[in-house]
Structure 1
Amino acid sequence: MPVIAMTQEMGSLAKDVSVELAQSLGLRIVRHEIAEHVANRMHVPQSLIGRLREGKAGLVERLTTDQRSVALYTAEELYDLADRGDVVLRGWGATCLLRPVPHIVSVRITRSMRKRVEWLMRDLETDDAEFAEAEIRRSDQAHASRMHEQFGVTWGDPLLYDLVLNTDRISVRSCVEQISLLVRRPEFAETAESRALLSGMALAARVKVALKDHPATRAISITVEATSGRITMRGIVLDDEERTQAESVAADVAGVTDVDNQLKLMSSTRRFASSKQT
């Protein structure tokens, strides 16, 4: 059940590589469906999610959109898709989110700015090279900011990927062949351990979303881990009621068989300070 996570740099030919790769290996391609999922869960227009991702959203949209929810719903969908397998996931931070899973291949497709500008000019049917370059740099900056904010990494760092391919020098067909070879290598064979790890990450993501969606727990920020259906929750909550409610919400998530509630109560002095801030 191959899973390939790829980058989505504008004009890099990553889309062409992903399409041919999916056809060659019999995989699904998922990208825009994630925007639809996130928009539906947040009850906002899909176009808003696209603008936020591409750095085109206005100040009011950025300030009024719950970015934590965007990240949680995105992670939930990516983990679920990866858990089902046989898929190419392009963009959406998939290369970072899925990096810990040994059998998932993480690939960056890149290209020189000059070639990317030429590609965008053809795509937009314009001769304005300055405009095309500005669009690409704006898109790159949006991706770099999001990767740093969500994962604390430098976008483009080669150590984040198993394979970096430059389409200035390598054809789309050659990229597909190289990725296909890597997918078949024993280093990326799916094992019971790697499968369990991915399933646990997917379950933990569902629990985090459930906590975010429930009125009584949506404000808490805690760590959630899952192993073989057992959920472990760590962090600080306001009081016993919030602690109990968090456990109840987690226990109701499909796939959860047990909850290890290690949540601690906020100290009285911190609780008093918190109440004064509201």
Structure 2
Amino acid sequence: MPVIAITQEMGSLAKDVGMQLADSLKLDTMRHEVVERLSEKMNMPKSVIRRLREGKAGIVERLTADRQKIAVYSAEEVFELANRGNIVLRGWGATCMLRPVPHVVGVRITRSFEKRVDWLMENLGTDDRGFAEDEIRRSDEAHAARMHQQFGVTWGDPLLYDLVLNTDRVSVASCVELITQLTRRPEFQETEASRAMLADMTLTARIRAAFKDNEATRDTKVTIESHGGQVSLQGIVISDAERGAAQQVAAAVQGVTGVDNQLRVMSTSRRFTSAKY
């Protein structure tokens, strides 16, 4: 069950590659599912989520948006989709989140700045090159900031990917062929171990989202580890009530078969919320 994660870089032709790849291999694609799910779970207009991701949000939207919640919920969606298999995932940090999974193919599609600007001008039907350049730069800066904030990586680092393709020199059709060849190589075949790893990561993401959903655990920041349905909670909480709530919320998540609650309660003399971060 191939899982292919592709970067989303404005004007790089990554969308064309992803769509043709999915069509060629008969795979599903991640289209607007993540935005729709985030909008539903956060009671936030889809337009606002898109503006936040694209770096177009106004100051009020930036100040009031819960970026951590967006990151947690979007990660849950990406992992759930990847766990189903037979899919092309484009953007949303999928290449970074799924990097540890051996059978996931991580691809960066890139292109020269000039060609990307030409692409945007053509698609917008404008001859204002300065405007198009600003849009490309703004998009790149927003992507780079989000990747650094969420994953602590430098966007564009070739070591993050299994394959980097430059559509200045490689056609969309050739990109599809090269990625297809890589999915068939022994290194990227799904194994019982790689499948279990992805299932564990998906369950962990599901639990983090459940914590965000629950008022009692919304601000709980602890280490969550999942192994075959068995979940371990480690870290510091400020009260017995928070410790109990964390276990209760985790135990109720679909796929959890047991919870090893190793959370420690902060002593009364040091019980300050900021102290556990």
TM bucket (normalised to shorter chain) is: over 0.9
The TM-score normalised by the length of structure 2 is 0.97
Q: Which whole-Å deviations, capped at 9, do the CAs of 1:71-101 have from their partners, x for residues lacking one? A: 0100000000000000000000000011010
Structure 2 match to 1:222: 222
Matches within 5 A, 1:110-125: 110-125=110-125
Structure 2 match to 1:197: 197
| Cα distance in structure 2, aligned partners of 1:213 and 1:23 | 36
| Cα distance in structure 2, aligned partners of 1:222 and 1:58 | 32
Distance 1:196 1:165, change over 3 A: same
Matches within 5 A, 1:1-278: 1-272=1-272
| Cα distance in structure 1, aligned partners of 2:141 and 2:243 | 39
SS in 1 for 2:147: helix
Distance 1:219 1:195, change over 3 A: same
| Cα distance in structure 2, aligned partners of 1:274 and 1:223 | 17
| Cα distance in structure 2, aligned partners of 1:155 and 1:196 | 28
Q: Is the 8 A contact 2:158 2:164 kept in 1?
A: yes
Shift, 1:272, TM fit: 5.0
Shift, 1:219, TM fit: 1.4
Shift, 1:268, TM fit: 2.3
| Cα distance in structure 2, aligned partners of 1:101 and 1:172 | 26
The code of the aligned residue for 1:180 comes to: T
Shift, 1:250, TM fit: 0.6
Q: Is the 8 A contact 1:104 1:188 kept in 2?
A: yes
| Cα distance in structure 1, aligned partners of 2:257 and 2:184 | 34
Shift, 1:145, TM fit: 0.1
Shift, 1:274, TM fit: 5.6
Which sits farther off after the overlay, 25-34 or 133-142? 25-34
SS in 2 for 1:212: helix
Q: Which whole-Å deviations, capped at 9, do the CAs of 1:94-127 have from their partners, x for residues lacking one? A: 0001101000000000000010010000000000
The code of the aligned residue for 1:171 comes to: S
The code of the aligned residue for 2:229 comes to: G
The code of the aligned residue for 1:156 comes to: G
Shift, 1:269, TM fit: 2.6
The code of the aligned residue for 1:257 comes to: T
Q: Which whole-Å deviations, capped at 9, do the CAs of 1:185-221 have from their partners, x for residues lacking one? A: 0000000000000001111111111111111111111
The TM-score normalised by the length of structure 1 is 0.97
The code of the aligned residue for 2:261 comes to: N
| Cα distance in structure 2, aligned partners of 1:237 and 1:117 | 50
Q: How many residues align?
A: 275
Q: Is the 8 A contact 2:76 2:202 kept in 1?
A: yes
Q: Is the 8 A contact 1:31 1:91 kept in 2?
A: no
Query: Over aligned residues, Cα RMSD in angstroms?
Result: 1.1
**Structure 1: unaligned runs, 5 residues or longer:** none
